[in-house]
Structures are given as C-alpha cells and as structure tokens.
Amino acid sequence: MDVVRKCTRCGAENRIPPKHIAHAGKCGKCKTELSPNDAPIDVDESTFDHIVRESPVPVLVDFWAAWCGPCQMAAPEVKHVAHDLAGRAVVLKVNTEESPRLAARYDVRGIPNFAVFRGGKLVQQKAGLVNRTVLRSMVE
C-alpha cells in the first residue's frame, strides 16, 4: 500500500512506496522536490503492516480514539514530533475504533498508547499521555 503525498506546488498526488516514506523525492507531474513526510499519517491495518515492515527508519505509532480526551491532548505533541523527526522517523496514527484488531494485536488496553517499531519489530510501547520530549526519546 502506497502513501499519497500531495505536491505543494501543483497539487498532484504522488504515490510513495513505504520503503521510501522517509525520503525526499520529486513530484511526478511538475518535478518539484517533495520533502520527507512531516505529519502523522492515518492508517488502516493493511497500510500499517506495509509501512512498519518496509520503513527504513523507526516508526512511532499513536493508538487513539476520537472520544478520548487525553488522545486529543496528545495530538499536537504527536504532530510536533512528526515534524521534528521528518526524514528520521515516520509517525502513524491508528484509530482504535476503526482498527480494533490492530489494537488487540499490540495489546492496547488504554489510550493514548504509543509504540515504536524498528525493522518491523516492536521495540517499545507506552500507554498514557506523554509530551513531545518523551515521544522523541522513545524514537531516538
């Protein structure tokens, strides 16, 4: 499953394979440079699996739900970390209401819940509201 990155110049949607998700590239239409993804990516189970398995950089996953107050409080922190670590990490968001099997697979019992994957393997997981400094240290 490819991730779509929109060109800021011409608006073209560019399909980015998971193995290149952290890299800069060029727009297929206007050839403008596309910077590495610097925002959290909402994913379903299939896209999650492809990105975690093929990403050349660590993947930080935010398991969340729309009704969760602490999840809403964590969202700006997650967004900030995605921006700060662009090109060095990928940040995914998994809505546990829409992907309950994925949440169950990683034993997510409380949200927000943050997990870090390297080389397709879970290396760290932490439940509860944390700030950007903690999120960054989990990835680095």
10, 27, 30, 68: the catalytic one is 68
Is 30 tagged catalytic? no
7, 10, 27, 71: the catalytic one is 71
Beta-bridge partners for 90: 59
Measured CA to CA in angstroms, residue 116 lies from 10, 47, 60 at distances of: 34, 16, 5
86 CB-near residues (< 8 Å, 6+ apart): 22, 35, 36, 37, 38
Is 27 tagged catalytic? no
**Catalytic site residues?**
68, 71
